[in-house]
Amino acid sequence: MVDAADTVKGASISVVIPVFNNSASLRTLFEQLSVFEAGLAERHLKLDLIFVDDGSSDDSYAILIDHKAQRPATKLIKFTRNFGAVRAVRAGLKHASGDALSLMAADLQDSLEKLTEMVDHWQAGAKFIICVRSQRRDPIISRAFAVLYYGMLKRLILRNYPQGGFDLMLVDKTMLRYLLRGGPLVMPQLTAFWLGFQPTIIYGERPPRPHGKSTFTFAKRLKFFVDTVTTFSVVPIRFFSAVGLITALMSLAYGSYIFVNATLGNFAVQGFATLVVLISFFSGLILMMLGIIGEYLWRIVSALDDRPESVVEESRL
């Protein structure tokens, strides 16, 4: 019987790293990647390294060019402007040639030791390996958003999604074509889990950023949440359809009650204040429903639009 590890000797691991104003951390990241690559060599594996500069305004791309001069096999892609991390990842995945692939942040928060452990699981035959957060050290607002986001994710989309979520993963190349079809609005991690492959789970902590601050603002977090729900779930529309049905039945019952009692002369028909409140309430409800429908319609328009999801200014592959 042939050992699973022997069947992948000589294979390569693609690592896609989006970069946005990460000049302070890149050189340290190169050192860590050098150690990681040496570990792959011991396992008879190669590293397919892909950096995507997502419109950085600092000297990140110049540093990446210097790194490519020292390691010519490194692939570089530069966007004309900032298109977002998801689109940067997708651009990198299109140039991934490895037999397995992973996504990493350039801010030194993803552990290459954990990625090495994932590679060992892949060599043993696993197709989908994820590193679930054992605990969070983020600011309280970020933690509160994470609790809300993953809680809603489990209830609305994937009931078996890890409670703490995950960022670092390693997937077999058989999953690549599905990741590229996931759309430019949702992170590939969620698409990968949605595919249904049974994940091999390891646990680890994500350290705080050693340099700079996260650009993932509350507005971006809220947009990310809306994009995720409207891409994977029809629950919001069905919820408000149910609200509309219940409201219509209650209005019919109340209207019948008023009509019967007014006809019998039990009381005089009054209630101007009540009427104003009800009109205001239901007008707001209708506008909210239209907004949700608009979110879904926008995704249809975006999918049919011929505009490129990102624009590459320069590539050095």
Partners of 131 in the β-ladder: 202
**Do β-strands 100-103 and 166-172 pair in parallel, antiparallel, or remain unpaired?**
antiparallel
> What is the residue-averaged pLDDT of the chain?
84
pLDDT in tens, 155-200: 877 888 887 778 899 999 999 988 888 777 778 888 898 898 999 9
CA-CA-CA-CA torsion sign (169, 173, 175, 177)? positive
Q: What is the pLDDT of residues 289-302, one digit of tens each?
A: 888 888 888 777 77
User: What DSSP letter does each residue of 105-163 carry, written as one string?
Assistant: -TTS-S-HHHHHHHHHHHHTT-SEEEEEES---S-HHHHHHHHHHHHHHHHHT-TTS-T
Quote the pLDDT of residue 6.
Answer: 52
Contact 67, 135 (CB under 8 A): no
Mean pLDDT, residues 217-244: 77
The pLDDT of residue 72 is: 95
- The architecture in CATH of the region 7-232 reads Alpha-Beta Complex (3.90)
Of the two residues 105 and 268, the one the predictor is more confident about is: 105
Query: What is the 8-class DSSP label of residue 207?
Result: P
**Is the pLDDT assigned to residue 273 strictly greater than 80?**
no
pLDDT at 251: 76
Q: Is the pLDDT of residue 55 over 90?
A: yes
Domain ranges of the chain: 7-232, 235-304
In terms of pLDDT, which residue wins out, 255 or 46? 46
Between 113 and 280, residue with greater pLDDT: 113
Whether 233 shows a pLDDT value over 70: the answer reads yes
CA dist., res. 17 & res. 104, Å (int): 5
State the DSSP code for 15.
Answer: E
pLDDT higher at 125 or 299 = 125
Angle at 20 between CA 15 and CA 26, to 5 degrees: 60
Confidence at residue 1, expressed as pLDDT on a 0 to 100 scale: 35
pLDDT of residue 123: 94
* Token couple for 53: 């500069």
**pLDDT tens for residues 62-82?**
999 999 999 999 999 999 999
